[in-house]
Amino acid sequence: MIGKTRKNKEVLKELVELYSSKKGLIAHQYHECSHPEIVKWLIDNDFLQKEAFGMEHLSENTIYYLPSVYPLTEKGAKYLKLNWYEILQSSSLYHMIRDGAAFIALLLTLFLLISK
């Protein structure tokens, strides 16, 4: 999970840097995106604005970014600012482990109280 998060954040940062470096220049020049599968996932999960990308029919795995449009949604901007611990806390696996540990602690406490 952490590896996927790191790769997602790298792609988000790359797009924001491209937007910042090209801001105000050629308004309708598209740039081919690296990692199109990650970009598609980020668009589908509302981290990136769909209007900033063109999905061309040249190939199923080709996505173009229009750097005159800011790529991140509000959700994407928040995600980019999260640190690893906040991301871990928001994962369902973290919640399942935390709740399981609390349940085991409850059972141990009850066992110790009953056995005395």
Q: How far apart are CA 61 and CA 41, in angstroms?
A: 12
pTM flag (> 0.75): no
**Residue 10 CB neighbour total at 10 angstroms:** 13
The answer to whether residue 92 scores a pLDDT higher than 80 is no
In this structure, the strands spanning 31-32 and 53-54 are unpaired
Strand order in the sheet with 64-65: 31-32, 64-65, 53-54
Residue 59: how many CB atoms within 10 A of its CB?
Answer: 8
Domain ranges of the chain: 2-82, 83-116
| CB-based contact 19:66 (threshold 8 Å) | no
Per residue in 21-65, pLDDT tens?
Answer: 765 555 566 777 778 888 888 888 898 988 887 765 445 667 777
